[in-house]
């Protein structure tokens, strides 16, 4: 029989550990169409604040990832069919055109994406095309969880312990070495340029933690360098709260978000590293963080649209401010709190921010400014190069106190955090040139400089005329009101 199968690529732009692709090949189809739809919906505006849904750093990373996937597929005898259009419109027509009998794809976890899957199903149901969804974005397979997703524990630690006790991470699937050709006559178009998507190429910033290149080979190269060549995994637990440079953490997140590498592939490499180099708290901690990623993904399945609602998955009713002027100061890094501003400027300029930074700026917006946490989540959605709908909205709801956090009243004292994690002010000076000349003791609290000198608050000193005074009462930052990330509390030692 002359079979043509379609593999619909989504947030899984890789060849290794790709179940839909391997399943398609198992039937030895005569022809294979590998398709990616650039969905115009992803380039519209966010619902509440009207930010561009996909900012320039992520858009560039996506195009690079597609380019890289296309090159790999070409070297195996096929190609990537890329088109701008809604999957529910593109796929049924394409399936008719090439007489495909199957469409295989990876499932997603959130409403917008699930709705696209349903629309594709509806649009193909009268055409004798089998749709084959597979789960493949997490470390623990959904079918291997020791509980139904509806009964996901509402605290991460319980989830982690139960999974560690009962669930084995599946081995990653190997990559194909050859592919059947596309059907004759299928026209492959060039990839769109950023400007065709309404995006201006982002300028390079030499202060960026690193230049993230999209695609599976770049992901593998990062893993090789960070695990093996530079041996950074060995000390990850000690360095992971860093703020500057490429090495304090893995920086896998952009590749994980677009699926250029799978969490199972990373876990398998951790196991190999543990066998051949060292097994310690740091190697465990990387897998621990991947479990957080899983947790938020399964939470999205369980919580549905409450993940995006003001009251969050926990249904906590609070009064939030919608002050757009204050929001804009936060976005622009002009709050007058150097640690917040440095992180926000890094995000805007590079599309990346450390985990420590993310927790602090999110806490500041939701807990100090009391601004609707969803505004912040939308800004992150727009700007992050590693935007992952589940990780972003899950973490935001968690920090805002409306998510799955057993201590919903936690608030970060952002000034204390700044002293703890940036003791010499190197990070804030990197992003806030206005503070270059401010002496170390005052760099996180420039307002104190005037107090100490018993002068009226004078922001004309030390170049501070360009830097705003704090936008909220500084008594909030008196010592003794900081909290730590739950993960710190969950500091279980290795079995
Ligand atoms: C408010 C807020 C928003 C966030 N938004 C996103 C997002 O959109 N996309 C995203 O990938 N991460 C998000 N995170 C989680 C975390 O900040 C990033 O995953 C991490 O900073 C990426 O850097 P890394 O790859 O070097 O991480 P590493 O420390 O090297 O960790 C390895 C991997 O574990 C996963 N991971 C680590 N921490 C978390 C976490 N708290 N939640 C979920 N997964 C985690 C990531 O996939 C990460 O790549 C957010 C955190 C906060 C507090």
Q: Give the domain CATH number at 463.
A: 1.10.579.10
Same domain, 463 and 334: yes
Name the residue at shortest CA distance from atom 3 of ligand 1.
Answer: 392
Same domain, 229 and 122: no
Distance 262 CA to ligand 1 centre (A): 14
Tally of CA atoms within 13 A in the half-sphere of 199 that contains its CB = 27
pTM summary value: 0.95
The pLDDT of residue 448: 86
- Per-residue pLDDT for 439 more than 60? yes
- Residue matched to tokens 């002009």: 334
Per-residue pLDDT tens digits for 47-79: 999 999 999 999 999 999 999 999 999 999 999
Establish if 148 belongs to a structural domain: yes
Same domain, 114 and 79: yes
- Per-residue pLDDT for 482 more than 50? no
For residue 248, the ligand 1 atom closest to its alpha carbon is 26
CA 116 centroid distance within chain: 21
Per-residue pLDDT tens digits for 220-276: 999 999 999 999 999 999 999 999 999 999 999 999 999 999 999 999 999 999 999
Same domain, 165 and 78: no
Establish if 182 belongs to a structural domain: no
The pLDDT of residue 464: 61
- Domain residues for the domain of 287 are 137-172+215-303
Same domain, 367 and 437: yes
Per-chain mean pLDDT for the chain: 93
Per-residue pLDDT tens digits for 450-463: 654 434 444 555 55
The pLDDT of residue 452: 46
Same domain, 345 and 469: yes
Same domain, 151 and 277: yes
The pLDDT of residue 361: 98
Establish if 210 belongs to a structural domain: no
Residues with CB under 6 A from ligand 1: 240, 249-253, 256-257, 286, 289-290, 292-293, 296, 354-355, 358-359, 362, 380, 384, 386-388, 391-392, 395-396, 399
Please work out, in degrees rounded to the nearest 5, the angle formed at the alpha carbon of residue 81 by the alpha carbons of 102 and 46.
Answer: 95
Same domain, 126 and 49: yes
The pLDDT of residue 485: 38
Establish if 296 belongs to a structural domain: yes
Establish if 267 belongs to a structural domain: yes
What's the total number of domains in the chain?
3
Establish if 164 belongs to a structural domain: yes
The pLDDT of residue 449: 78
The pLDDT of residue 465: 66
Looking at 134, 155, 182, which one is the last position of a domain?
134
- Say which CATH number the domain at 270 has: 1.25.40.80
State the Cα–Cα distance between residues 90 and 99, nearest whole angstrom: 14
Distance 494 CA to ligand 1 centre (A): 22
Distance 205 CA to ligand 1 centre (A): 22
Establish if 180 belongs to a structural domain: no
Establish if 446 belongs to a structural domain: yes
Same domain, 125 and 147: no
Q: Which long-range contacts (CB under 8 A, 24 or more apart) does 273-282 make?
A: 273/227, 273/228, 273/233, 277/231, 277/234, 278/234, 279/494, 280/234, 280/237, 280/494, 281/237, 281/493, 281/494, 282/233, 282/234, 282/235, 282/236, 282/237, 282/238
Name the residue at shortest CA distance from atom 21 of ligand 1.
Answer: 355
Quick one: what percent of the chain has pLDDT higher than 70? 93
Which of 138, 386, 484 for mutating ligand 1's site (highest number of atoms within 8 Å of CB)? 386
The pLDDT of residue 492: 41
Picking from 349, 243, 293, 379, the residue whose alpha carbon sits closest to that of residue 109 is 293
Distance 198 CA to ligand 1 centre (A): 28
Same domain, 482 and 372: yes
Looking at 79, 111, 134, which one is the last position of a domain?
134
Distance 17 CA to ligand 1 centre (A): 21
Name the residue at shortest CA distance from atom 26 of ligand 1.
Answer: 251
- Say which CATH number the domain at 9 has: 3.40.50.620
**What are the helix (H) ranges across 319-388?**
324-332, 338-350, 355-363, 373-383
Q: Which of 104-118, 183-197, 419-433, 474-488 has the lowest mean pLDDT?
A: 474-488
- Residue 245, phi-psi category: left (phi > 0), alpha (psi -120 to 50), beta (remainder): left
Same domain, 154 and 287: yes
Same domain, 334 and 450: yes
The pLDDT of residue 480: 56
């Amino acid at each position: 029989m002359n079979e043509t199968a379609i593999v619909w690529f989504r947030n899984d732009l890789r060849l290794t550990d790709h179940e839909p692709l391997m399943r398609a090949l198992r039937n030895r189809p005569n022809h294979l169409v590998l398709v990616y739809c650039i969905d115009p919906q992803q380039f519209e505006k966010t619902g509440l604040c009207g930010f561009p849904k996909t900012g320039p750093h992520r858009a560039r990373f996506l195009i690079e990832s597609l380019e890289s996937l296309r090159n790999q597929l070409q070297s195996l005898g096929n190609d990537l069919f890329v088109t701008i259009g809604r999957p529910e419109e593109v796929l049924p027509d394409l399936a008719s055109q090439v007489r495909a009998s199957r469409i295989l794809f990876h499932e997603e976890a959130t409403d917008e994406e699930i709705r696209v899957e349903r629309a594709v199903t509806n649009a193909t149901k009268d055409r004798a095309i089998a749709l084959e969804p597979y789960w493949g974005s997490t470390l623990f397979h959904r079918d291997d969880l020791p509980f139904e997703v509806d009964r996901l524990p509402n605290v991460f630690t319980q989830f982690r312990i139960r999974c560690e006790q009962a669930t084995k991470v599946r081995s990653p699937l190997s990559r194909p070495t050859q592919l059947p050709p596309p059907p004759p006559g299928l026209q492959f178009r060039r990839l769109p340029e950023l400007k065709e998507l309404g995006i201006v190429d982002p300028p390079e910033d030499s202060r960026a933690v690193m230049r993230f290149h999209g695609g599976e080979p770049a992901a593998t190269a990062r893993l090789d360098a960070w695990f093996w060549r530079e041996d950074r995994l060995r000390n990850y637990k000690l360095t992971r709260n860093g703020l500057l440079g490429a090495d304090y953490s893995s920086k896998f997140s952009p590749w994980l978000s677009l699926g250029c590498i799978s969490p199972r592939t990373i876990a398998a490499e951790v196991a190999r590293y543990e066998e051949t180099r060292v097994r310690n708290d740091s190697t465990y901690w990387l897998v621990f963080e991947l479990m957080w990623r899983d947790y938020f993904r399964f939470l999205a399945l369980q919580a549905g649209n409450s993940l995006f609602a003001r009251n969050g998955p926990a249904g906590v009713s609070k009064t939030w401010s919608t002050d757009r002027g204050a929001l804009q100061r936060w976005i622009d890094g002009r709050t007058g709190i150097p640690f917040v501003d440095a992180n926000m400027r890094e995000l805007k300029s590079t599309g990346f921010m450390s985990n420590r930074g993310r927790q602090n700026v999110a806490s500041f917006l939701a807990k100090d400014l009391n601004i609707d946490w969803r505004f912040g989540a939308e800004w992150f959605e727009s700007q992050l190069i590693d935007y992952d709908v589940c990780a972003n909205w899950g973490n935001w709801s968690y920090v805002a106190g409306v998510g799955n956090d057993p201590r919903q009243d936690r608030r970060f004292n952002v000034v204390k955090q700044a002293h703890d994690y940036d003791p010499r002010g190197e990070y804030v000076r990197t992003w806030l040139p206005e503070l270059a000349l401010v002496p170390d003791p005052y760099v996180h609290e420039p307002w104190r400089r005037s107090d100490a000198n018993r002068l009226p608050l004078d922001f004309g000193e030390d170049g501070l005329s360009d830097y705003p005074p704090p936008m909220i009462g500084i008594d909030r930052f008196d010592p003794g009101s900081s909290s730590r990330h739950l993960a710190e509390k969950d500091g279980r030692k290795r079995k």
